[in-house]
Structure 1
């Protein structure tokens, strides 16, 4: 059975724009409900899909962090091209890393980084995530267990350049965090792996802004946008965005501007 890949989405509201970024092996489904929630409160939301994502693990390995960063920057410029001058950026997991990179390199109103593995020192664990994703995806495709095991073994023998690129990009972004001067919100699940729990306070301590906050979710794991405390995550994100210094014109609908 051929599975349909999730798609990028744009939900237009007023002139306050939010760039939403998903994680490694994830898709726009990671941030779709959050985007819909923010859009109901007036925000314009755009979420790009990284190349190779939303389909097979083999497709993901054909690309790498430099391609996905291009997809992120294209998403930022997509909003600019639609006429949005004031943009906040929100992302989870690898998307949280990309969020920090956007905040360091582009003009943004605010930064919301969720469960970003900025303290990752090696590529260990990244292939395991891809491997587990591959197994689940192949099961959804309806393949036999024998066929799945054969394809998973072949996956292990494919070039791992994409995985290595992720680690290099994370390290580079870690060195850039102190360039972030925009208001910053760091969100982290308390049940997430130790790598992510160590990363959250590092991000909070390193960003160069006095307008920052770190919020922990005691009953949440990694993808907190879809977890049992997701409603609180949405509310906290909205509160942060509402408190940013948007211009009065940004609060107007594009239709009436």
Structure 2
């Protein structure tokens, strides 16, 4: 049986968000990888999101799945943030061997964590160290280049998928950072409870923020997820 892994990045992001884990899986397995860039997305400084809608991103993912399905026997989907939501959408429509949800944005914005993050940014700004702040560096282009209309379309993706989460029955591994300022950490437990798979696992990263593939403990959960997706694979 040949295996393919479809990686789906997040809203206003690009393949770089999942690349560390994709590289790890590729190195350890040699499986075929597919990491599409959703319409209007890519590197932060090159975002062109105006005019794109939820259906464009869902269709991008479906096309990537179908293309990969022509080349392999079984598909594993790894989705980050909005990509996690789209991954669940695909799992409801197509055959998926395993599902991995990274900071899946079934709920979004954690006010308490965002307040903490912005306080740190404010302190760094006063100390003239704002340019060294990782959160500021990741989001400064997005704050300027993501139109509100695109954010509305992101919310439509979530709304379209939410009613069908309970129908997911494929084996699922959920990874969530407890310091995530975008996706409330309790979202992971909500997804775990709703998904109907008999085989489901959850990993809560004590040091993980939203970009979980860059967390200090990523080597640990990379290993755990790899064991999960390789189980029963020949």
Q: Same fold (TM over 0.5)?
A: yes
**Offset at 1:194?**
7.3
Spell out, residue by residue over 1:57-80, the C-alpha distance to the aligned partner (whole angstroms, 9 max, x if none).
761123122111111111111111
* Correspondence 1:26 to 2:31: no
Spell out, residue by residue over 1:160-212, the C-alpha distance to the aligned partner (whole angstroms, 9 max, x if none).
33221211220221111111110011110011137431211111000111111
* Correspondence 1:79 to 2:62: no
**In 1, distance between residues paired with 2:172 and 2:42?**
29
* Correspondence 1:136 to 2:111: no
Task: State the match for 1:115 in structure 2.
Answer: 103
Once superposed, which parts of structure 1, at least 4 consecutive aligned residues long, lie more than 4 Å away? Answer: 55-58, 131-134
Spell out, residue by residue over 1:95-146, the C-alpha distance to the aligned partner (whole angstroms, 9 max, x if none).
111111111221100111111121249xxx9xxxxx98674379xxxxxxxx
* Correspondence 1:178 to 2:178: no
Task: State the match for 2:118 in structure 1.
Answer: none
* Correspondence 1:35 to 2:22: yes
**In 1, distance between residues paired with 2:181 and 2:102?**
13
* Correspondence 1:96 to 2:84: yes
**Structure 1 unmatched runs, 5+:** 1-13, 126-130, 139-151, 252-257
> What TM-score comes out, normalization by structure 2 length?
0.79
- The size of the alignment, in residue pairs, is 207
Counterparts of 1:162-241 in structure 2 under 5 Å?
A: 162-193=150-181, 195-241=183-229
Greater mean deviation of Cα atoms: 189-198 or 69-78:
189-198
Give 2:59's match in structure 1, choosing from 70, 74, 83. Answer: 70
> What TM-score comes out, normalization by structure 1 length?
0.73
**In 1, distance between residues paired with 2:105 and 2:200?**
18
Q: Is the 8 A contact 1:61 1:163 kept in 2?
A: no
Radius of gyration: which is bigger? 1
**Offset at 1:53?**
0.9
**Structure 2 unmatched runs, 5+:** 115-135
**In 1, distance between residues paired with 2:202 and 2:139?**
33
Q: Is the 8 A contact 1:187 1:200 kept in 2?
A: yes
